[in-house]
């Protein structure tokens, strides 16, 4: 599209009230002096040849663009196009009806409503609309006009058979006037009201019903409409099939509209009554579709109108279709072929119909209760189903009931209770709309067949003072099996005649025994079973009530065959069934009700509780309950454990049998002895000492005064795993300190033998300047103290102090200071005093002791004088290891002069050790020295650099050579250190 083609039109025409878009576009083309087809092309609108096609093919985006091009308000043209659901695609819609007076007043502009089949009269001028041109006889506005400027507004634009345009002025066409009180004119006002209320379904139904009404209306109902209507009715084309009739003229359309008013009104009963009357005029009510109604017209009806037609044909349908189509209620409808509401409804329907509704639906005679309950529940799957295949509808919930459905429906119909059918449909609608408080599908999947265990059943019978029954066998099922069936059926609504259930009845006798069990339950027992069912739901995580059924209001106003559950005198029922012992059938005859009513009402009063004999399981359970209240753990602790009484003596004192006493003693976990009782040891204390405090068995035995093996056997008797024997099982190795104790103290103590002793000695030693004085104060060897402190540093993983040297005292590191601070706390000191023996505790040194230790640190001991050589005239020096190394090298090079760097290279002696030794030897007369000559000193200088340091050459003297040989071959033995 070019930019010029999207410009705003320079000449525009306003939209007349009620005008159709086809008439407005024609006036717009005439105003701009172009043909309508050219205008449509310029506005990018579909270029159609038929006018009705143009009306239905314009889309909302086209309308918005057209409003922009003509500068109209937004959505202003929405009123000029027909509603998509209005019936324009009809035979009448090939052309437009018109009112000549309206055309004259509107300047030849046509109304949109004249295209509708429901437009047949003009209420303003009280005339019938025309549907043909008086000049050419063709339908007006069937095709779009060619050259608009040659066809003035309000003139017929059709072409004659000779090819010339008609040109008849439709504004001057003759009309048929109607009286002001004409029923036909009133029918048009009613149709206009439907159009104003946008009741498109009613307008469409009016068109679809018009053909059918022309065949079913009797002549006497047309005569009151006037001579004009009677004449048109006599000339109507009634022999052709309904779907091949020519378009209806306005008079026949008015007659059909007048008689359609009760069919399309708001009252369902009035519409259904009128439809039945019209179908009776046809001669029969049988069949779903009315006679003389085309299938296309049936499909074009709204769901509400189809439902009314189905409701009117209820008595002529089959029993299955009456339920499937819900024909007995205003909610009747034709489901789609693929519609399957039973799939979602399956979760809300049990296999057996709810007891209250079973009582309401069940006819007095002709049906078994069990089969009727299953069949009635299966019928709830039929309403709204598009399929008539019963097996596919009831699969997989009611596979065993399809054969009984036809018989059940026939019995209900023959009994005269046809309102059961709409009642079933109402229940199905209630389930579809509101659902159910119980998800039966989930319960069928989750609830097990063992709804109650044997222990829980016995407990329940004991609380309700009833007999639990004998143990179940396949040949003779006991009361426990019947209780499980009762609970399973109560929770899931299961049909036990279905062989797929694990708890299904095996034979008729098994069924009768279950029914007898249900009737024999007392009210307390029923209440207890109900509470157990609620507990089972809570365990499975199902937040639902135990039982539920749809409310009574679902079928309000329907006449059902059975009574309500409350419509029975419970006092009279109790008197007849319990006091007088009548059978359910006799009681039903007395109360003039059904046996089912009696059985269901009996569940509300229950049987009287039956007292068992003194030897039954209930009596034995009572004895054990009484024994449990008397033989308490406190009683056994006082009489058996502390008092030393035997079980036989306790049985004699309490009056219980020895078997019951022994049973209660074992139940509370008391250890029974059949020989001499072991020595008394508090088991809890023993466990705490060995397991928690990690004490050794020898330590515990020493405290108790027992043998070590006695403690070990008692621990084995208590089921305690013993630790392996050895040092690692000692109490001191396994003990754990409180976490409030500093971590460094715990690391030094836990898992060690003498951790506290090392900490105490470390605290004392750090008060001295060195370990030698500390060892003298403690009274041990210095090496022992060194070893203990190395172990302490290894346990802590840290260096605790810097070692001392001559004139410098040892001092603690940061870790050592932290340890000393921890040791000075009152808690640690108390623990240390408690763990050490008195002989191991050393007092801290006083000031005099510390002063003496400090003096020893800075004072050297005078060495003893050396004994001079006998025949060597040099002074004797003290020989050390470096001295011996130096003397050996001098002897090896005794004929050479040497300087210090040479000896350092040969021996590896440090310069700080070597030169003092050479000086001592020279002073003692062992060596002579001379400086390096001037020439040699300057000759060693590199080019461009100074000569550096001047060398000093040494040489052994003869006496020094003899002295060196003497010391090397006769070394003086080293004096050992003094130890303690």
- For residue range 339-379, list pLDDT tens digits in order: 777 677 888 889 888 888 888 888 877 778 878 888 888 88
Range name among 87-96, 803-812, 839-848, 945-954 with the lowest pLDDT average = 87-96
- Exposure class string for 927-959: b at 16+ Cβ within 10 A, else e: beeeebeeeeeeeeeeeeeeeeeebebbbbbeb
CA 32 to chain centre: 69
> For residue 553, what are the contacts with CB-CB under 8 A and spacing of at least 6?
none
Per-residue pLDDT band for 285 (boundaries 50, 70, 90) equals: low
Across residues 570-590, what is the average pLDDT?
81
Range name among 153-162, 603-612, 802-811 with the lowest pLDDT average = 603-612
Burial of 453 (0-12, 13-18, 19+ CB in 10 A): exposed
Q: Interhelix angle for 479-492 vs 508-520, to 10°?
A: 80
- For residue range 763-794, list pLDDT tens digits in order: 888 989 888 888 888 888 888 888 988 998 88
Which of the pair, 734 or 27, is modelled with greater confidence? 27
Type and span of the H or E element at 927: strand 927-931
Partnered with residue 927 across adjacent β-strands are: 956
Burial of 792 (0-12, 13-18, 19+ CB in 10 A): buried
> Is pLDDT above 80 for 876?
yes
Q: Over the chain, what is the mean pLDDT?
A: 81
Q: Are 26 and 145 in contact (CB under 8 A)?
A: yes
**Residue 978 has what pLDDT?**
41
Range name among 18-32, 235-249, 427-441, 572-586 with the lowest pLDDT average = 235-249
> Is pLDDT above 60 for 66?
yes
CA 586 to chain centre: 54
> Residue holding tokens 């921890």?
822
> For residue 546, what are the contacts with CB-CB under 8 A and spacing of at least 6?
490, 491, 530, 533, 534, 537
Per-residue pLDDT band for 323 (boundaries 50, 70, 90) equals: confident
- For residue range 420-460, list pLDDT tens digits in order: 888 888 888 888 888 889 998 898 889 998 899 888 888 88
Cα gap 712→329, rounded to integer Å: 89
> Is pLDDT above 50 for 976?
no
Provide the token pair at 723. Answer: 């630790």
> Is pLDDT above 60 for 239?
no
Q: Quick one: which of 738, 792, 739 has its CA closest to 766?
A: 792
Q: Are 383 and 362 in contact (CB under 8 A)?
A: no
Q: Are 87 and 94 in contact (CB under 8 A)?
A: no
**Residue 134 has what pLDDT?**
87
The CA-to-CA distance between both ends of the chain, in Å, stands at: 121
Partnered with residue 177 across adjacent β-strands are: 127
CA dihedral 955, 961, 965, 968 (to 10 degrees): -40
Q: Quick one: which of 389, 239, 411 has its CA closest to 319?
A: 411
Q: Are 90 and 300 in contact (CB under 8 A)?
A: no
**Residue 608 has what pLDDT?**
58
**Residue 780 has what pLDDT?**
87
DSSP 8-state code for residue 931: E
Residues belonging to the chain = 980
Measured on CA atoms in the order 762, 765, 771, 772, is the torsion positive or negative?
negative
Q: Are 746 and 712 in contact (CB under 8 A)?
A: no
3-state SS of 192-233?
HHHHHCCCHHHHHHHHHHHHHHHHHCCHHHCHHHCHHHHHHH
**Residue 330 has what pLDDT?**
76
CA dihedral 760, 763, 769, 770 (to 10 degrees): 40
**Residue 342 has what pLDDT?**
66
Q: Answer yes or no: pTM beyond 0.85.
A: no
> Residue holding tokens 């009833």?
466
DSSP 8-state code for residue 118: T
Provide the token pair at 426. Answer: 């109402």
Per-residue pLDDT band for 980 (boundaries 50, 70, 90) equals: very low
> Is pLDDT above 70 for 640?
yes
- For residue range 454-494, list pLDDT tens digits in order: 888 888 887 887 778 766 555 556 788 888 988 998 898 88
Other Cβ atoms closer than 10 A to 58: 21
Phi, psi of 932 (to 5 degrees): -70, 145
Cα gap 297→117, rounded to integer Å: 14
Range name among 195-199, 249-253, 385-389, 740-744 with the lowest pLDDT average = 385-389
> Residue holding tokens 């329940």?
460
Cα gap 116→97, rounded to integer Å: 9
**Residue 2 has what pLDDT?**
46
Cα gap 567→597, rounded to integer Å: 9
Q: Quick one: which of 29, 72, 67 has its CA closest to 47?
A: 29
Cα gap 496→485, rounded to integer Å: 8
Question: Read out DSSP for 671-727?
Answer: PP-SSSPPPP--HHHHHIIIIIS---HHHHHHHHT--HHHHHHHHHHTTPPPPPSSG
Across residues 685-714, what is the average pLDDT?
79
Cα gap 12→828, rounded to integer Å: 108
Phi, psi of 512 (to 5 degrees): -65, -35
Range name among 187-196, 285-294, 773-782 with the lowest pLDDT average = 285-294
Cα gap 456→67, rounded to integer Å: 80
- For residue range 911-930, list pLDDT tens digits in order: 888 888 899 888 888 899 99
Q: Are 38 and 29 in contact (CB under 8 A)?
A: yes
Q: Quick one: which of 515, 534, 528 has its CA closest to 468?
A: 528
Cα gap 660→647, rounded to integer Å: 10
Q: Are 326 and 422 in contact (CB under 8 A)?
A: yes
**Residue 122 has what pLDDT?**
92
Cα gap 218→206, rounded to integer Å: 18
Cα gap 644→662, rounded to integer Å: 15
- For residue range 713-751, list pLDDT tens digits in order: 888 888 887 776 655 566 666 667 888 888 888 888 887
Per-residue pLDDT band for 813 (boundaries 50, 70, 90) equals: very high
Give the SS3 label for residue 901: helix
């Amino acid at each position: 599209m070019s930019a010029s083609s999207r410009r705003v039109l320079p000449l525009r025409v306003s939209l007349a009230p009620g005008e159709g878009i086809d008439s407005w576009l024609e006036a717009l083309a005439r105003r701009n002096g172009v043909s309508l087809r050219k205008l449509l092309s310029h506005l990018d609108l579909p270029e159609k040849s038929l006018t009705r096609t143009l009306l239905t093919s314009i889309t909302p985006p086209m309308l918005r663009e057209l409003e922009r091009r003509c500068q109209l308000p937004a959505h202003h043209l929405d009123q000029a196009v027909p509603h998509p659901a209005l019936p324009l695609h009809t035979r009448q819609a090939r052309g437009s009806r018109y009112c000549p007076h309206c055309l004259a007043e509107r300047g030849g502009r046509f109304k949109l409503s004249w295209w509708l089949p429901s437009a047949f009269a003009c209420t303003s001028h009280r005339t019938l609309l025309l549907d043909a041109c008086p000049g050419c006889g063709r339908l007006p506005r069937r095709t779009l006009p060619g050259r608009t400027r040659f066809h003035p507004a309000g003139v017929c634009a059709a072409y004659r058979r000779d090819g010339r345009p008609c040109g008849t002025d439709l504004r001057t066409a003759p009309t048929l006037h109607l009286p002001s009180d004409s029923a036909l004119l009133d029918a048009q006002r009613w149709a206009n009201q439907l159009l104003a209320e946008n009741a498109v379904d009613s307008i469409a139904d009016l068109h679809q019903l018009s053909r059918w009404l022309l065949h079913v209306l009797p002549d006497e109902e047309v005569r009151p409409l006037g001579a004009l209507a009677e004449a048109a009715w006599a000339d109507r084309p009634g022999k052709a099939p309904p779907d091949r009739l020519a378009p209806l003229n306005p008079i026949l359309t008015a007659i059909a509209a007048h008689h359609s008013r009760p069919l399309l009104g708001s009252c369902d009963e009035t519409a259904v009554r009128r439809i039945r009357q019209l179908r009776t005029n046809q001669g029969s009510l049988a069949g779903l579709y009315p006679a003389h109604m085309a299938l296309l017209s049936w499909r074009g009806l709204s769901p509400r109108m189809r439902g009314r037609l189905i409701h009117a044909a209820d008595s002529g349908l089959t029993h299955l279709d009456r339920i499937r189509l819900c024909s007995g209620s205003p909610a009747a409808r034709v489901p789609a072929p693929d519609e399957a509401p039973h799939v979602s409804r399956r979760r809300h329907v049990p296999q057996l119909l709810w007891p209250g509704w079973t009582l309401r639906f069940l006819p007095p005679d002709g049906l078994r209760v069990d089969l009727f309950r299953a069949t009635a529940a299966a019928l709830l799957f039929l309403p709204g189903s598009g399929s008539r295949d019963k097996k596919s509808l009831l699969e997989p919930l009611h596979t065993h009931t399809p054969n009984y459905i036809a018989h059940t429906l026939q019995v209900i119909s023959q009994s005269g209770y046809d309102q059961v059918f709409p009642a079933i449909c109402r229940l199905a609608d209630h389930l579809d709309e509101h659902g159910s408080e119980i998800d039966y599908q989930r319960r069928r999947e989750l609830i097990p067949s063992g709804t109650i265990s044997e222990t829980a059943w016995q407990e329940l019978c004991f609380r309700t003072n009833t007999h639990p029954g004998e143990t179940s066998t396949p040949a003779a099922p006991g009361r426990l099996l019947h209780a499980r069936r009762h609970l399973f059926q109560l929770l899931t609504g299961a049909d036990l005649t279905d062989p797929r259930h694990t708890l299904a009845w095996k034979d008729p006798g098994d069924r009768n025994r279950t029914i007898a069990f249900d009737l024999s339950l007392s009210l307390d027992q029923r209440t207890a079973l109900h509470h157990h069912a609620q507990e089972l739901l809570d365990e499975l995580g199902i937040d639902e009530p135990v039982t539920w059924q749809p409310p009574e209001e679902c079928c309000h106003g329907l006449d059902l065959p059975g009574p309500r559950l409350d419509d029975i005198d419970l006092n009279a029922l109790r008197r007849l069934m319990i006091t007088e012992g009548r059978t359910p059938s006799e009681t039903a005859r007395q109360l003039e009700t059904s046996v089912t009513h009696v059985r269901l009402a009996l569940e509300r009063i229950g049987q009287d509780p039956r007292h068992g004999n003194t030897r039954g399981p209930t009596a034995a359970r009572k004895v054990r309950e009484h024994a449990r209240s008397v033989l308490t753990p406190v009683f056994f602790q006082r009489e058996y454990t502390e008092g030393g009484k035997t079980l036989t003596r306790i049985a004699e004192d309490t009056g219980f049998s020895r078997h019951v006493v022994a049973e209660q003693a074992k139940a509370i976990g008391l250890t029974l002895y059949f020989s001499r009782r072991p020595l008394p040891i508090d088991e809890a204390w023993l466990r705490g000492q060995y397991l928690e405090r990690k004490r050794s068995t020898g330590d515990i035995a020493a405290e108790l005064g027992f043998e070590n093996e006695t403690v070990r056997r008692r621990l084995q008797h208590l089921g305690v795993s013993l630790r392996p024997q050895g040092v690692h099982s000692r109490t001191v190795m396994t003990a754990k300190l409180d976490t409030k104790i500093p971590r460094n103290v715990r690391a030094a103590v836990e898992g060690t033998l003498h951790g506290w002793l090392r900490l105490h000695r470390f605290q004392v030693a750090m008060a001295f300047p060195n370990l030698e004085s500390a060892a003298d104060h403690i009274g041990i060897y210095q090496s022992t103290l060194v070893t203990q402190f190395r172990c302490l540093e290894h346990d802590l993983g840290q260096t605790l102090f810097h070692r001392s040297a001559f004139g410098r005292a040892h001092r603690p590191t940061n870790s050592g200071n932290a340890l000393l601070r921890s040791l000075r706390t009152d808690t640690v000191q108390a623990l240390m005093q408690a763990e050490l023996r008195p002989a191991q505790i050393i007092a801290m040194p006083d000031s005099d002791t510390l002063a003496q230790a400090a003096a020893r640190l800075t004072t050297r001991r005078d060495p003893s004088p050396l004994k001079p050589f006998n025949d060597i005239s040099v002074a004797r020096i003290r020989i050390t290891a470096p001295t011996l190394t130096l003397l050996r090298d001098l002897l090896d090079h005794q004929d050479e002069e040497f300087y210090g760097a040479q000896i350092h290279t040969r021996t590896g002696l440090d310069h700080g050790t070597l030169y003092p030794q050479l000086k001592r030897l020279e002073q003692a007369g062992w060596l002579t020295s001379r400086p390096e000559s001037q020439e040699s000193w300057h000759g060693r200088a590199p080019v461009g650099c100074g000569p550096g340091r001047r060398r000093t050459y040494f040489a052994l003297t003869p006496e020094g050579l003899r002295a060196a040989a003497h010391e090397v071959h006769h070394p003086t033995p080293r004096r050992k250190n003094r130890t303690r």
